[in-house]
Structure 1
Amino acid sequence: MTETPTTNYTLWQLILYFLRLGTLGFGGPVALVGYMHRDLVGERSWISEADYKEGLALAQLAPGPLAAQLAIYLGYVHYRIVGATLVGIAFVVPSFLMVVALGWAYMHFGGLPWMQSVFYGVGAAVIGIIVMSTQKLTQKSVGKDKLLWAIFLLLAAVTVITESEVAWLFIAAGVLVWFLRAPPKFPGKNTVNSVGASMPLMADLFGNLDVTLLTQIGIFFTKAGAFVFGSGLAIVPFLYGGVVTEHHWLTDKQFVDAVAVAMITPGPVVITVGFIGYLVAGLPGASVAALATFLPCYLFTVIPAPYFKKYGKVPGVLAFVDGITAAAIGAIAGSVIVIAKRSIIDIPTAVIALISIGLLWKFKKLHEPIIVAAAALIGLLTYPLISHA
């Protein structure tokens, strides 16, 4: 069926929302998927709970950046390919322009020492923001379901222990709930196995090509977008291995600065690829790196989207989606702890994180950018004193 369901919003309104989210949405993928649920499902009722859960499940199943894929799917829900395309562009472009500007400043002014001060405060505040986002997401999607809670806790523990998101566990969680709640008559597994088996081979084919710098950048970041599952948290080790260890494009210090840029700018954390690309090959490098990373995630979303829409209400699919959603939120909760270990490094950062949680808990309408701006200011004032103490 190709007819568009009745909507209570226009495509232009949706584009403006994601343009704003891409401009002001701090906190990385964990917070961003929480904002989308709060704003589009809860407050505006533009997207149904079922459509949101389908989008989150698809974004978690497919490789690539989580928040960008969910945004693309939500654009697809009522406005199909045009909506998915324009929403994806609106969501990514603001933060891309910011990291390119920061890349230019970094190259021309010999590094950005003020970033350490800003990130000191912002990194701690972001923990508070994503804790609250995860709490709301868990409460809404997992509820009091004991089976989903077991999956949630298992994935949270695995993410904390491994510091990565194990893709096959998402699928296993979906299959488990599917078999327990809506057993299939003709279960099939060959398709998943064959696709999974072909991925390392495809990666090897890409990796063996001898090409010019821009093409090398394009191929490497296509692999990052096409073969890395989970959120921005998952892609960082992959980027480090290629950018620093394998290709020697950046030093350790430059790479850490690139990750800091991703954390102190709004929008998807994966946009750090634009900053990295700029340091390696200027604006062309930034453009190629960003396009190569986000194009696979766009295709991995819009190609299967019609099938998710068509079969999303089948009991077996609903059960499968519930299992994957619980696994996804569990992994998100685990990633909060992993990120916190890197961002909360002393008493002041712990205090900033706790105050952020308290403010968001007390004042439901408080906008996150206000907290981020205040934390950045605190970082600028306090970090120089602490670092020289």
Structure 2
Amino acid sequence: MKTSPSYSLRELVRYFLRLGTLGFGGPPALVSAMYQDLVVERQWITEADYREGLALAQLAPGPLAAQLAIYLGYVHYGVLGATLTGVIFVLPSFLMVLIVGWAYVRFEGLPLMQAIFYGIGAAVIGIIAVGTYKLTTRTIARDRLGWVLFGLSAVATAVTESELLWLVLLSGAIYWLMKTPPQFLRPGAGSSLTPFLPQLLALPTDSILWKLAFFFAKAGAFVFGSGLAIVPFLYGGVVKENGWLTEQQFLDAVAVAMITPGPVVITVAFIGYLIAGFWGACVAALATFLPCYLFTILPAPYFKRWGKHPGIKAFVDGVTIAAVGAIAGAVVVLARRQLIDAPAILICLSTVGLLYRFKKLPELSIIGGAAVIGLLLQQAG
């Protein structure tokens, strides 16, 4: 029996508008924020629905945080809820990236912004570290097997700097076999999920917009994991193969995505803007996010129908644990790249201390303070 939601669709859309506008830190911070806000505090989404959404987002190609937002919108309000939450979650960061892209082209670089990004980036590492810690302890609790699978996924992600789909699937299978051992000889004991992989049509044309559409559709449809996982794919195509951007322009694009709120994958809009202006940004963003939208809403009904089966539930739990481990590993990857000197480390540790001491401290105030510190350090240097 379908329970009536305790919130309206308008309230859910308003929440994702706020998260898309103020949610810094990329997938680890955004995924943790959705859990803390929607499951723990508001109790709009059940733990089971959240786990199913995180597992589906991890299994399907495309940006993790955007897919989870789409699924959570689907839980009580179907395709309409999924569509509205997905669009409103991505829209604020898309608009911000357009503005930054215009400024970047207009002023030929981001020297002032880079100073601001230095402070913000260090603070964001502290924010996502705290969020990931909360998500990890609530998800795994005292489950010893869970901690082992979590550790393997975290270490693998930190070492390879990418999220390994085979390890996520293996984690789900191990957890299923250990927690709900199947009776292999019983007829009909196994179940299989039908994969959904719509074929993208590549239309032969010399138009740069069609080339962008095809390239970014491939990025959205065939790259698994969070925004961190898509970066190497984008680098290979944008810089090495097609020569659309210089290496410095690409690094600036990734930096912009990391310090703007919303999903990290919004870097595609900045890249599209540098290549082909406003319409290039629109085409790149639409082509990247449309596959992840389809990969979420098409399997969602089946995922919800079968998700309560003990074997499927155990598999989903194992995948969720591996997903959280991958998020923790991603924090390590980000920290290695962002915490490059003593001031950055101090900003990060101060952020962790403030969030630990003052539970209700707004993250936006920390980010604003970190931006000011970044500017002061540049002036002092």
TM-score by length of 2: 0.95
- Shift of the alpha carbon at 1:114? 1.2
Q: Does 1:43 align with 2:41?
A: yes
Structure 1: distance between partners of 2:34 and 2:193:
34
Task: Name the residue aligned to 1:220.
Answer: 215
Task: Name the residue aligned to 1:94.
Answer: 92
Structure 1: distance between partners of 2:378 and 2:324:
33
Q: Over residues 196-225 of structure 1, what are the superposed CA-to-partner deviations in whole Å (9 max), with x where a residue is unaligned?
A: xx99xx79x96x956421001001111111
Task: Indicate the percent of aligned positions where both proteins have the same amino acid.
Answer: 62
The correspondence of residues 96-175 of structure 1 with structure 2, limited to 5 A, is 96-175=94-173
From 308, 320, 327, the counterpart of 1:325: 320
Q: Does 1:297 align with 2:295?
A: no
Work out whether residues 7 and 78 of structure 1, in 8 Å CA contact, stay in contact via their aligned partners in 2: yes
Q: Are the structure 2 counterparts of residues 99 and 367 from structure 1 closer, same or farther at C-alpha, using a change threshold of 3 Å?
A: same
Q: Over residues 24-65 of structure 1, what are the superposed CA-to-partner deviations in whole Å (9 max), with x where a residue is unaligned?
A: 001111000011011101110100111101100000010100
Equivalent residue pairs, number: 376
Task: Name the residue aligned to 1:63.
Answer: 61
From 18, 22, 25, the counterpart of 1:24: 22
Task: Name the residue aligned to 2:266.
Answer: 271
Work out whether residues 118 and 264 of structure 1, in 8 Å CA contact, stay in contact via their aligned partners in 2: no
Structure 1: distance between partners of 2:175 and 2:213:
39
Task: Please tell me the residue identity of whatever aligns with 1:261.
Answer: V
Q: Secondary structure at the match of 1:165?
A: coil
Q: Over residues 57-97 of structure 1, what are the superposed CA-to-partner deviations in whole Å (9 max), with x where a residue is unaligned?
A: 00001010000000000000000100000000110001000
- Shift of the alpha carbon at 1:177? 1.0
Work out whether residues 54 and 321 of structure 1, in 8 Å CA contact, stay in contact via their aligned partners in 2: yes
Task: Please tell me the residue identity of whatever aligns with 2:336.
Answer: K
Structure 1: distance between partners of 2:86 and 2:158:
30
Task: Please tell me the residue identity of whatever aligns with 2:79.
Answer: I
- Shift of the alpha carbon at 1:384? 4.1
Task: Name the residue aligned to 1:368.
Answer: 363
TM-score by length of 1: 0.93
Q: Secondary structure at the match of 1:45?
A: coil
Work out whether residues 60 and 229 of structure 1, in 8 Å CA contact, stay in contact via their aligned partners in 2: yes
Task: Name the residue aligned to 1:15.
Answer: 13
- Shift of the alpha carbon at 1:352? 0.2
Task: Name the residue aligned to 2:241.
Answer: 246
Task: Please tell me the residue identity of whatever aligns with 1:167.
Answer: L
Q: Does 1:352 align with 2:352?
A: no
From 244, 261, 264, the counterpart of 2:256: 261
Task: Name the residue aligned to 2:229.
Answer: 234
Work out whether residues 120 and 383 of structure 1, in 8 Å CA contact, stay in contact via their aligned partners in 2: no
- Shift of the alpha carbon at 1:367? 1.6
Q: Secondary structure at the match of 1:345?
A: coil
Work out whether residues 4 and 79 of structure 1, in 8 Å CA contact, stay in contact via their aligned partners in 2: no
Structure 1: distance between partners of 2:31 and 2:103:
30
Structure 2: distance between partners of 1:376 and 1:274:
23
Q: Over residues 118-155 of structure 1, what are the superposed CA-to-partner deviations in whole Å (9 max), with x where a residue is unaligned?
A: 11111111110111011000011011101111100001
Q: Are the structure 2 counterparts of residues 159 and 209 from structure 1 closer, same or farther at C-alpha, using a change threshold of 3 Å?
A: farther
- Shift of the alpha carbon at 1:179? 1.6
Structure 2: distance between partners of 1:246 and 1:380:
36
Structure 2: distance between partners of 1:119 and 1:339:
14
- Shift of the alpha carbon at 1:191? 5.9
- Shift of the alpha carbon at 1:189? 7.0
- Shift of the alpha carbon at 1:244? 0.6
Work out whether residues 148 and 326 of structure 1, in 8 Å CA contact, stay in contact via their aligned partners in 2: yes
Structure 2: distance between partners of 1:258 and 1:275:
6
Q: Secondary structure at the match of 1:93?
A: helix
Structure 2: distance between partners of 1:151 and 1:106:
43
Structure 1: distance between partners of 2:356 and 2:193:
47
Work out whether residues 72 and 88 of structure 1, in 8 Å CA contact, stay in contact via their aligned partners in 2: yes
Q: Are the structure 2 counterparts of residues 324 and 190 from structure 1 closer, same or farther at C-alpha, using a change threshold of 3 Å?
A: closer
Give the root-mean-square deviation of aligned CA atoms.
1.8
Structure 2: distance between partners of 1:125 and 1:335:
16
- Shift of the alpha carbon at 1:317? 1.1
- Specify every segment of 5 or more residues in structure 1 that has no aligned partner in the other structure, as ranges: none
Q: Secondary structure at the match of 1:123?
A: helix
- Shift of the alpha carbon at 1:265? 0.7
- Shift of the alpha carbon at 1:5? 2.5
Q: Over residues 219-274 of structure 1, what are the superposed CA-to-partner deviations in whole Å (9 max), with x where a residue is unaligned?
A: 11111111111111111111111111111111011111111111111000110111
Structure 2: distance between partners of 1:385 and 1:250:
32
Task: Name the residue aligned to 1:52.
Answer: 50
- Shift of the alpha carbon at 1:168? 1.2
- Shift of the alpha carbon at 1:311? 1.1
